[in-house]
Amino acid sequence: MLSVAHIYGIFQNSLTYDDVHINFTCEEWALLDASQKRLYKDVMLETYSNLTAIGYKWEDHNIEEHCQRFRRRGRHKRSRTEERPYECKQCGKAFSHRCYLHNHERRHTGEKPYECNQCGKAFANRSHLNIHKRCHTGEKPYSCNHCGKAFSQQSHLNIHKRIHTGEKPYQCNQCEKAFTDYTHLRRHAIIHTGVKPYECNQCGKAFSKHGSLQTHKRTHTGEKPYQCNHCGKAFADYSYVKLHERTHTGEKPYECKQCGKAFSQRSHLQIHKRTHTGEKPYECKQCYKTFANCSALKIHDRTHTGVKPYECDQCGKAFSHHNSLQTHKRTHTGEKPYQCNECGKAFAKHSGLQSHKRTHTGEKPYECKQCGKAFSQWSHLKIHKRTHI
């Protein structure tokens, strides 16, 4: 068996894992009996543990993951069949190996002996330090075979894969909402308790999560620490910059299983799904008209309140919709972006182009219910109806 000191000496002389590892072909492996296979696995795991202990940089992450799988499997078997003679004196938790107990004890003592030589951050385990170092190197050895996105940790890749599979194994036992990873479930569970221990000292607004309070405080300070590395646009929340970056990369990881249409945000997919189900969960309290999404309801509410928050900076005219303001601005600029592909005539509004096209097609979709006469434009039908009055 190779000791840690001996391994350290070997790797100081620039040897690799392959130099101390015996590789069997499938045929050779089949000839080994059970005890020989166990011995090989024990030696391989001991070598892996020693290399990890000295901070060896793995070039082939498939080998590293292979060793980690063996180690996890071994721990699982021991947890069911072996004794756990090493007990923590503080909490009573027992372990099958002394080294596992030592690692655990650091949770109580707060000891963090492994320090990053770049930023000074300290860790209780060397493996956590090695993972952290990838923040500085930018190394992302674990790649998604579906979309190519890469991650610094295997666990992050496993969680990401659920975006593609739709798997949500962690379910809330109060509202049955499901999540792709356990941490998101834990954060969500606080909603049901109603506890909001984190309060803003400027406006008094309270939050269930410390991170939410920190993000909220930036609405007062104007701080936007997260910057897009494509265009430089800054954001107050890290999640917002990640969503924004997809406008540059074109990444659309959320796909509709019914029609195949893909979206950059999960919320956009949820709204889209309602076009298939016909669901309209947002209801106007004044006229009871229903809508598929909250933003459409908010815009509709302005027809009742008369609120017109979008004002033209040239003439002062105000509008209830942002796109109505954009269309209006073209009366000042003279811009006509919608052009007829038959005669070249241009229009400021898309609806103007659609009406014009009917002069070429002869289409008359607006019909008088009294006399049957048809018109190409709604306004012409309204004028005609007066002849029947």
155 part of a folded domain: no
Judged by average pLDDT, the poorest of 34-38, 135-139, 225-229, 302-306 is 34-38
Burial class (CB in 10 A: 0-12, 13-18, 19+), 132: middle
187 part of a folded domain: no
pLDDT at 45 over 80: no
Residue 335 to residue 350: CA distance in whole angstroms: 12
281 part of a folded domain: yes
Nearest residue to 308 (alpha-carbon basis) of 289, 293, 295, 325: 325
Phi/psi at 383 (5° precision): -65, -40
Question: HEC states along the chain?
Answer: CCCHHHHHHHHHCCCCHHHHCCCCCHHHHHHCCHHHHHHHHHHHHHHHHHHHHCCCCCCCHHHHHHHHHHHHHHHHHHHHHCCCCEECCCCCCEECCHHHHHHHHHHHHCCCCEECCCCCCEECCHHHHHHHHHHHHCCCCEECCCCCCEECCHHHHHHHHHHHHCCCCEECCCCCCEECCHHHHHHHHHHHHCCCCEECCCCCCEECCHHHHHHHHHHHHCCCCEECCCCCCEECCHHHHHHHHHHHHCCCCEECCCCCCEECCHHHHHHHHHHHHCCCCEECCCCCCEECCHHHHHHHHHHHHCCCCEECCCCCCEECCHHHHHHHHHHHHCCCCEECCCCCCEECCHHHHHHHHHHHHCCCCEECCCCCCEECCHHHHHHHHHHHC
Mean pLDDT (the chain) is 82
Res 273: pLDDT: 92
67 part of a folded domain: no
pLDDT 10s digits, 70-122: 555 555 554 444 578 888 998 888 888 888 888 888 888 989 988 999 889 99
102 part of a folded domain: yes
148 part of a folded domain: no
Res 183: pLDDT: 84
379 part of a folded domain: yes
Return the CATH number at 373.
3.30.160.60
Domain carrying residue 379:
340-386
Res 74: pLDDT: 54
Nearest residue to 307 (alpha-carbon basis) of 318, 295, 296, 291: 318
Q: pTM of the entire structure? A: 0.43
Residue 183 to residue 187: CA distance in whole angstroms: 6
Please tell me the total count of domains within the chain: 3
Judged by average pLDDT, the poorest of 3-7, 28-32, 233-237, 308-312 is 3-7
Q: How confident is the model at residue 191 (pLDDT cuts 50, 70, 90)?
A: confident
Residue 130 to residue 56: CA distance in whole angstroms: 9
Q: How confident is the model at residue 36 (pLDDT cuts 50, 70, 90)?
A: low
Res 103: pLDDT: 84
Mean pLDDT along residues 218-227: 91
Domain final residue, candidates 120, 137, 154: 137
Query: How far is the CA of 253 from the CAs of 140, 144, 179, 320, in angstroms?
Result: 19, 12, 16, 33
Residue 84 to residue 93: CA distance in whole angstroms: 9
Amino acid identity at 73? R
Q: How confident is the model at residue 24 (pLDDT cuts 50, 70, 90)?
A: low
Burial class (CB in 10 A: 0-12, 13-18, 19+), 281: exposed
Hey, what are 327's tokens?
């269309």
75 part of a folded domain: no
- 44 or 157: which leads in pLDDT: 157
pLDDT at 378 over 50: yes
Give the whole-number percent of the chain exceeding pLDDT 70: 79
pLDDT 10s digits, 134-172: 889 888 988 999 899 999 888 888 889 988 988 888 888
Res 11: pLDDT: 42
